[in-house]
Amino acid sequence: MRSFLRLCVCGLLLAGCGSPGDAAMPMPTARHEAVGIAAGAEARQVRLPLDAYALGPGGMALMGDAAESLTAACMAAGNLAWPVLRRPVVRDSGNRRRYGLIEAEVARRAGYEQVMDPAEADYARRRAARDAGLTAAQRIAAYGRDGKGGCLRRSWERVTGPGYVEDAVFVWRLSTDSLKHAWAHPKVKHLMGEWRICMRGKGFHELTRKGVAEAVADVACKTAVGLVPALVAVETGFQERAVARHGKRLSGIGSRLLRLRKELRELAGVSPGAAGPARPGWPR
């Protein structure tokens, strides 16, 4: 159960609390077909108080780098090479799809299809190419015979560290609660009614969440009624109250995140030849 939570939380925090995304830990032969589009201003403006208590895209990229370095060291212990890939840092607050589709360019180019930053899309392609080029011995050592073990998974368990999962789940629960309350707020419900009127005026009486035309109308109507700024304002209020209510625990989480970032920077620089047993919990 704990390992399952690790993967879920990594995915949630990478994509933004409340909008589940790809798991941060790469799995073998994964397919990545998302369209590469950089986050627009609409997405980057969605910033919330609880963002300060999560690693965010930059921190998750650092975590990925640390896991890659640890995997290389673990593989080297078995005289196997591991082509290290550094994860890019995307220009995104981590809340890109928190309120659904809100970016006009994404709507025009991809409709409701999944999108990711172009650098992330390139990373996904390179990761798939790396996995395809692994020898049988490399693949087993990295991913385990059943896909449930191996150096890569143990490295991810190492970098998430003791206490990280519990902290991340706590913040995620506060975040999902604030999102739920924001959608139920009278002001937001009123604007949702205005949005529906706008959509009907554009000919969309039954919403399918399919097709570019509907996506373009969806974003245009959200913009016209001011739905996203209202959601951000309302949810900010809920989160500020949550921060005040849970200040002591969140302060501790913030301090632990600072220490985790420092450790991740150190781990990300580990060379394959440094795979000795001196570091506690080193993945084998």
Q: pLDDT tens digits, residue range 104-137? A: 999 999 999 989 899 988 999 999 999 999 999 9
Per the prediction, the chain carries an average pLDDT of: 84
Q: Which two tokens stand for residue 256?
A: 């632990």
Region label for 94, one of left (φ > 0), alpha (ψ between -120 and 50) or beta (otherwise): left
Which of 51-65, 85-99, 203-217 has the highest mean predicted lDDT (pLDDT)? 203-217
| Structural contact between residues 172 and 10, judged by C-beta atoms closer than 8 angstroms | no
Confidence of residue 218 (pLDDT cuts 50, 70, 90): very high
Mean pLDDT of 10-29: 39
| Structural contact between residues 169 and 17, judged by C-beta atoms closer than 8 angstroms | no
Identify the pLDDT of residue 33.
Answer: 61
pLDDT in tens, 261-279: 888 988 887 544 443 332 2
Calpha distance 274→26 (Å, rounded):
23
Confidence of residue 182 (pLDDT cuts 50, 70, 90): very high
Identify the pLDDT of residue 10.
Answer: 46
Which residue has better confidence, 162 or 159? 159
Of all residues in the chain, the percent with pLDDT exceeding 90 is 63
| Structural contact between residues 219 and 107, judged by C-beta atoms closer than 8 angstroms | yes
208, 210, 212, 216 alpha-carbon torsion, rounded to 10°: 40
Calpha distance 9→7 (Å, rounded):
6
> Over 80: is that where the pLDDT of 190 sits?
yes
Identify the pLDDT of residue 270.
Answer: 52
pTM of the model as a whole: 0.79
3-class secondary structure, 36: strand
Identify the pLDDT of residue 25.
Answer: 39
Residue 177 Cα distances to 15, 47, 56, 194, angstroms? 17, 16, 19, 24
> Over 50: is that where the pLDDT of 31 sits?
no
* From 98-107, 151-160, 221-230, 265-274, the region with the lowest mean pLDDT: 265-274
Mean pLDDT of 68-77: 94
Beta strands in 84-160 (DSSP E): 115-116
Which of 52-61, 111-120, 183-192 has the highest mean predicted lDDT (pLDDT)? 183-192
> Over 90: is that where the pLDDT of 94 sits?
no
